[in-house]
Amino acid sequence: MGDKAAVVQAADKLYSDLTAANVPVLYDDRDVRPGEKFADADLIGIPYRIVVSEKSIEAGQLELKSRQSSEVSMISSENVINMLAAKSSPLL
């Protein structure tokens, strides 16, 4: 599994940064396979999926996928936060 602690630390930081920017977040930290998490996110209509992994951390990027596209992008956490904060609307 590799350095799971580094992945959890990076995911926790991203969660904190996104919530501080008033971006609604569903942090799926269940101990299930990624495919199950992705399928569940699609079923409940999550508009963007961000994957934090050892591979993405080593590259200094995060994996971002819009539900409306099949394209996966590698993007910095700062750019993810800025993009989602700009698209996010206040919860009612």
> Does the pLDDT of residue 90 top 90, yes or no?
no
Over residues 42-71, the pLDDT tens digits come to 999 999 999 999 999 999 999 999 999 999
> Does the pLDDT of residue 17 top 60, yes or no?
yes
Q: Which residue range is the domain that position 14 belongs to?
A: 4-87
For 48, other C-beta atoms within 10 Å of its C-beta total 16
Q: What is the CATH number of the domain that holds 43?
A: 3.40.50.800
Residue 80, class by beta-carbon neighbours within 10 Å (0-12 exposed, 13-18 middle, 19+ buried)?
A: buried
In a domain, 92, yes or no: no
In a domain, 46, yes or no: yes
Number of structural domains in the chain: 1
